[in-house]
Structure 1
Amino acid sequence: MVTLPVTLPITLDRSLPGSLGGQLSGRVRDLLVDGTLARGDRLPSSRALAGELGVSRSVTEQAYEQLLAEGWLEARRGSGTYVAATGAARAAVPTRVGARATPALVRLDAGTPWIDPRHGAGWRRAWREVSTARPPRGYDDPRGLPELRALLADRLARTRGLAVDPDEVVVTNGTTDGLRHLLTVLPPGPVALEDPGYRAAVETVRGLGRPVRDLPALAPVTDLRGAVAAYVTPAHQHPLGRVLPGPERVALLAAAGAAEAVVVEDDYDSEFRYDVAPVPALASLDRGRVAYLGTAAKSVAPSLRLGWLVPPPALLDRINDRRVVTHEGAAWPVQRAFLALLRDGYVDQVVRSARRVYAERAPRVAAALAPYAEPAGPVAGMYSTWLLPEPDALRAQEAARRAGFGVALLSGYCRSSGLTGLVVGFGGVSDEELDRALAALVSGLG
């Protein structure tokens, strides 16, 4: 039985900002979210839809490729393009309001990257390679695949100025996993963390039963007495965006040395500087005092749950010995796929593409919000933070929510800090979604 294509009730407005392809993908996404399109529905071909809308075929192809990459659609060879049988994540997990189910918000978060769908062939090729590779007979090397650690060591030297031996690199299940392994081998005592700062790191420290000590994120660190470690994001402070100045880096390392504390450097998105060249890793200044954390979450996908840790040499054997006993290494298929993605240039490609997209989107965010708020720091990476009074931030957040978007309050990242404002991510959305979200925020601030 042949399934006929559905009719898409869509019109495009050429006067709106952003690309027509982004506008089209947003319109189709809306139909998926509100239930107009159902699982298994067949969509018109890109050629037929282009004719109906009076646009070039490249516009419809771009929209379909984006939705395929996001998991909303699936292509069936020789048959056409269909609404994904597994459904889309936002449509499949509704939020209950009384007896009604409403779609979850499209979140403008600070951690979801932009992945150009044009690079999808490299992603699929890496996973095909995993499917034909022979897995280890038992538990593999808890440090991670030797070939992967070699590529990571080369990448750290090339992009972060950090010269390490592959045997000094430990592959982890993401940043917080690396932090947990590091803290487990340190003596008892509190951990100092930036305030405002990365909430997952705070909860990781608390989950280990360690006291949290607040470090004001905008003040130099000159005293770490009593702390066993200090967690910092010096290349792009999360979430304020500040780059730790050279003199303050020296002061931080001096304070750590005086307290015999470990500095934990979370280098989560240094590859996405587009205002200046990336600053060298803090660990390059003092390998004996600084533990370096890296992640694939911002360059490839948060759901990979893959990261790497370069601990101070004195702690390396203790971390590895513990992982031998606990079997807490990263999943072999994920390591094997990321090895192929690094080796074949996929990671470099998606980073370059994302950097261009972020560099174009950041000024649009600034143009919309600058009349109402003050930027907390340099605009770089995939988000920007804006300082404004809490009542104004709440009003803007509510306006965005009514339009279907989730935007975080800066106060949610604070513990003792009194800073207030908005944290606006622009990586994990389409151009059309970003424009609609910014319009909603402005309506709440105007």
Structure 2
Amino acid sequence: MPTLPVTLDRSAPGPWGLQLATRIRRLVLDGTLARGDRLPSSRGLAADLGVSRSVTEQAYEQLLAEGWLETRHGSGTFVAASGAGRAGALPRRPAVNEPPLVRLDAGTPWIDPRHSAGWRRAWREVSAARPPRGYDDPRGLPELRALLADRLARTRGLLVDPDELVVTSGTTDGLRHLLGALDPGPVAVEDPGYRAAVETVRSLGRAVVDHPALEPVTDLHGLVATYVTPAHQHPLGRVLPGPERIALLDAAAAAGTLVVEDDYDSEFRYDVAPVPALASLDRSSVAYLGTAAKAVAPSLRLGWLVAPAPLQERIDARRVVTHDAAPWPVQRAFLALLRDGYVDQVVRTARRVYGERAPRVAAALAPHATAAGPVAGMYSTWLLPEHDARRAQEAARRAGFWVPLLSGYCRTAALTGLVVGFGGVTDEELDRALAALTSAL
């Protein structure tokens, strides 16, 4: 008798039959159940789940009506549609009455709730402040740019004048401004790499050239830009070695190619001191992108950009015309968060938490998989066969967690495994997620 890997949340509101239908439907969509697979009888499934037969009959009737299942006279109930691969690289939207999955991804930070008073204080200050009468400085609030310039010098070894900084609505917004100021031409992006950067390049009508993330860059001819994450390669975790940094800058200078440095989580090294920014070595060839997403909150949608002088002038001129500036309330709040030490506090706390969680993740997964790079920041990447990675991902999903597949970050690279984030969860949630992953592996 076939069995189904489903459970019911008996505390959830709503009919159990509809909840069961939702879970079976998901098994079809993610490929766990394929076309032609035979399901257990409604009586047998009811016995497995410890519910009345009416619950399983309601679920089967719903899925038969939707066309996901079919009955064969004298044979039973079978899957009528194939959904393998339709789950894609992102979790599906939870159905009604189904709790959302807790995300163990590479971009959700840990924000200690003990610092919430500083967050509230900053927004109270915004509510009492007078907004500008018209469109403000397109580069961003001067006071905020002064604090950001000080922070870059202090934490990243990057010496810039506040007037050389542009406040953006996040990393992809800064990348759009840079590419909009460049001549036509293709852009190289690390593979595997940051998916949002790839989509940003493509949305501007530019071709994406895949560059293997673990191979040195020696020739950039024919490219207008190359996007890199040298402090902590996303998602493999590698730090770009010194000789390869020099080779990259030499190749950029020889080809007249702009290097776009996304410095997304450099503050969260806990094994060594933060690696200096690539832009600190060559301001003429490197544009620097920073973000508040990993330190404060992704939903803040705030970042900053430092570009070579000729590009800076083009970006400033365009923003004057388009009024394309980050929202004033968000800038004003971040100004208070920086000035009052909130950002430094949450970074220090998160660095300590990540430093404690990373060894726990490694201890759980190292017997089953190979670390793709040094563990730093708020996630680690583990190499293992795709079928094992999918099995572990499904086990985590059944336990209530979303863990991304490494293959979802690849375009032409043939790397498989899991990208396990440990920032946006509690310690208890992390332990439960790791238990689900290791039990499957």
Give yes or no for TM over 0.5.
yes
Alignment of 1:179-198 (within 5 A): 179-198=175-194
Is 1:303 aligned with 2:302?
A: no
Task: Tell me the number of residue pairs that the alignment of Structure 1 and Structure 2 aligns.
Answer: 356
2-structure distance, mates of 1:387, 1:313: 41
What whole-Å deviation, never above 9, does each CA across 1:329-350 have from its counterpart, x for those lacking one?
0000000000000000000000
Counterpart residue number, 1:395: 391
Structure 2 contact 13–97 (Cα < 8 Å) conserved: no
Is 1:340 aligned with 2:339?
A: no
Is 1:199 aligned with 2:195?
A: yes
Find the partner of 2:278 among 279, 282, 289: 282
Counterpart residue number, 2:28: none
SS at match of 2:110: coil
Find the partner of 1:293 among 270, 289, 293: 289
What whole-Å deviation, never above 9, does each CA across 1:150-200 have from its counterpart, x for those lacking one?
000000000000000000000000000000000001000000000000000
- Aligned partner letter, 1:221: V
1-structure distance, mates of 2:178, 2:93: 37
Gap change, CA 1:139 and 1:237, over 3 Å in 2: same
Is 1:246 aligned with 2:242?
A: yes
2-structure distance, mates of 1:227, 1:155: 32
1-structure distance, mates of 2:93, 2:120: 29
Counterpart residue number, 1:267: 263
Structure 1 contact 397–408 (Cα < 8 Å) conserved: yes
Is 1:352 aligned with 2:348?
A: yes
Counterpart residue number, 1:48: none
1-structure distance, mates of 2:272, 2:214: 20
Fraction of identical pairs, as percent: 82
2-structure distance, mates of 1:163, 1:216: 31
2-structure distance, mates of 1:394, 1:272: 29
Structure 1 contact 94–101 (Cα < 8 Å) conserved: no
Counterpart residue number, 2:94: 95
Unaligned runs of 5+ in 2: 1-8, 15-91
SS at match of 2:344: helix
SS at match of 1:95: coil
What whole-Å deviation, never above 9, does each CA across 1:90-110 have from its counterpart, x for those lacking one?
xxx9623xxx64222111010
Alignment of 1:410-421 (within 5 A): 410-421=406-417
Alignment of 1:17-96 (within 5 A): 34=12, 95-96=94-95
Q: TM-score, normalised by structure 1?
A: 0.78
2-structure distance, mates of 1:159, 1:403: 39
- Quote how far apart the aligned CAs of 1:34 are: 3.9
Counterpart residue number, 1:141: 137
What whole-Å deviation, never above 9, does each CA across 1:276-308 have from its counterpart, x for those lacking one?
111110000000100000000000000000000
1-structure distance, mates of 2:360, 2:241: 27
Find the partner of 1:422 among 418, 423, 426: 418
Find the partner of 1:160 among 151, 156, 159: 156
Is 1:234 aligned with 2:233?
A: no
- Aligned partner letter, 1:122: G
Find the partner of 1:131 among 104, 122, 127: 127
2-structure distance, mates of 1:129, 1:317: 33
2-structure distance, mates of 1:122, 1:376: 37
**Backbone CA RMSD of aligned residues:** 1.5
- Quote how far apart the aligned CAs of 1:313 are: 1.2
- Aligned partner letter, 2:203: G
Structure 1 contact 383–426 (Cα < 8 Å) conserved: yes
1-structure distance, mates of 2:286, 2:133: 35
Structure 2 contact 192–413 (Cα < 8 Å) conserved: yes
- Quote how far apart the aligned CAs of 1:371 are: 0.1
1-structure distance, mates of 2:277, 2:116: 30
2-structure distance, mates of 1:331, 1:258: 38
Counterpart residue number, 1:434: 430
2-structure distance, mates of 1:210, 1:398: 36
Structure 1 contact 94–102 (Cα < 8 Å) conserved: no
Counterpart residue number, 1:386: 382
What whole-Å deviation, never above 9, does each CA across 1:227-262 have from its counterpart, x for those lacking one?
000000000000000000000000001111111010
Unaligned runs of 5+ in 1: 1-30, 37-92
Is 1:327 aligned with 2:323?
A: yes
1-structure distance, mates of 2:402, 2:277: 32
SS at match of 1:102: coil
Is 1:122 aligned with 2:118?
A: yes
- Aligned partner letter, 1:223: D
Counterpart residue number, 1:17: none
Gap change, CA 1:409 and 1:94, over 3 Å in 2: closer
- Aligned partner letter, 1:288: S
- Aligned partner letter, 2:397: R
Counterpart residue number, 2:363: 367
1-structure distance, mates of 2:205, 2:97: 38
Larger Rg: 2
Counterpart residue number, 2:54: none
2-structure distance, mates of 1:323, 1:35: 50
2-structure distance, mates of 1:295, 1:205: 18
Counterpart residue number, 1:43: none
1-structure distance, mates of 2:413, 2:112: 37
SS at match of 1:127: helix
2-structure distance, mates of 1:208, 1:177: 12
- Quote how far apart the aligned CAs of 1:411 are: 0.3
- Aligned partner letter, 1:334: V
Q: TM-score, normalised by structure 2?
A: 0.79
SS at match of 2:218: coil
SS at match of 1:158: helix
SS at match of 2:233: coil
2-structure distance, mates of 1:367, 1:210: 42
- Aligned partner letter, 2:347: V
- Quote how far apart the aligned CAs of 1:314 are: 1.6
1-structure distance, mates of 2:134, 2:414: 51
- Aligned partner letter, 2:135: Y
1-structure distance, mates of 2:237, 2:199: 21
